[in-house]
Amino acid sequence: MIIAVDGPLASGKGTIARTLAAKFALPYLDTGSLYRATALAVLDAGDDPADAKAAVRAAQGLKADAIDESRIRTADAGAAASKVAVIPEVREALYKVQRDFAYQPGGAILDGRDIGTVICPDADVKLFVVADAETRARRRWMELQAKGDTISYEEMLSQTLERDARDAQRSDAPMQAAEDATLLDTTSLSIDAAVAAAIAIVEKRQKA
Ligand code: CDP
C-alpha cells in the first residue's frame, strides 16, 4: 500500500504520516526534509537559495544523512526550502530517490506537497491535510519556540502566508490536492482526533 499525505506548512501532515506509518507498519519518508537539506547546503555554502545553479548542485550532491540534521528544521531552512523547491531541476534531482522509496516492495508512506499528484499519482490512499493559516502559524511557532528558535508569531504568520503562496503558485509541481485525494481539515481537531480521522480514511479505502 502506498499512502500519499500532502498539505501546507504545519497542517498536521507530518504527525499524521508518522502515526499512519507506525499503525500500518510502512516505511515513511518526509520529502520536505530533502528540500530542507538541499536549502541548508546552499545556505552553508554561502549561496542564495534562489540561485538555480547552486541549488541544483546541492540537490545533486545531497548525502543520505543530510536529512537527519536538526538544523534543517529551523524556520529559515523552511523558508529557503520553498525557494529551492521552485526550481524544476532541483525537483528532478530529488525525484528518483522519492520514487524508489515509494515503490519499494510492500509500499510506503510519504508526505510533502506533490506526492499524490507527481511522485505517486497512483497511490492507494491520498490525503490532503489543511488548516487555517493562523492555526498553522501558531502551531509551528510553538514548536519552534520549544526548540529555542526566537522567531516571533507575526514573522511566523507572514512566512506561512509567503510559503503557502510560493508553494501553490510555482509552475512545476505546485502544492495542490489530487483530484482523488480526501481532504482533512485539522483546524479544530486535536492531534489524536486528526490522527483518528486519517486512520478512518485509510481503513475505509482499504475496504473499498
Ligand atoms: O514541515 P513543513 O510543512 O514546514 O515543510 P516541509 O514539508 O518540511 O517542506 C519544506 C518546503 O519544501 C515546502 O515549503 C515546499 O516548498 C518544499 N516541498 C516541496 O516542494 N515538495 C515536497 N514534496 C515537499 C516539500
Measured in Å, residue 203 CA sits from the centre of ligand 1 at: 26
Measured in Å, residue 81 CA sits from the centre of ligand 1 at: 7
Instruction: Quote the percentage of the chain above a pLDDT of 70.
Output: 100
Among 142, 166, 9, residue whose Cα is nearest residue 85: 166
Look up the CATH number of the domain holding residue 63. Answer: 3.40.50.300
Contacts of 104 (CB under 8 A, 6+ apart): 27
Q: What is the mean pLDDT of residues 41-50?
A: 98
Residue 56: the pLDDT is 98
Main-chain dihedrals φ then ψ at residue 106, nearest 5 degrees: 95, -15
**Dist CA 131 CA 151 (whole Å):** 21
Pocket of ligand 1 (CB under 6 A): 9-10, 14, 31-32, 35-36, 78, 81-82, 85, 112-115, 163, 167
Measured in Å, residue 123 CA sits from the centre of ligand 1 at: 19
For residue 182, give the 3-state DSSP assignment.
strand
205-to-1, 116, 124, 179, 200 alpha-carbon distances in Å? 11, 15, 8, 15, 9
Kindly tell me if the per-residue pLDDT of 82 is higher than 90. yes
By alpha-carbon position, which residue is closest to atom 18 of ligand 1?
A: 32
pLDDT in tens, 100-117: 999 999 999 999 999 999
Main-chain dihedrals φ then ψ at residue 68, nearest 5 degrees: -90, -5
Measured in Å, residue 201 CA sits from the centre of ligand 1 at: 23
Parent domain of 42: 2-207
- Give me the number of domains the chain comprises: 1
* CA-atom Rg of the chain in angstroms: 16
By alpha-carbon position, which residue is closest to atom 13 of ligand 1?
A: 82
Mutate to test the pocket of ligand 1, among 3, 9, 120 (most ligand atoms within 8 A of CB): 9
**Dist CA 130 CA 10 (whole Å):** 9
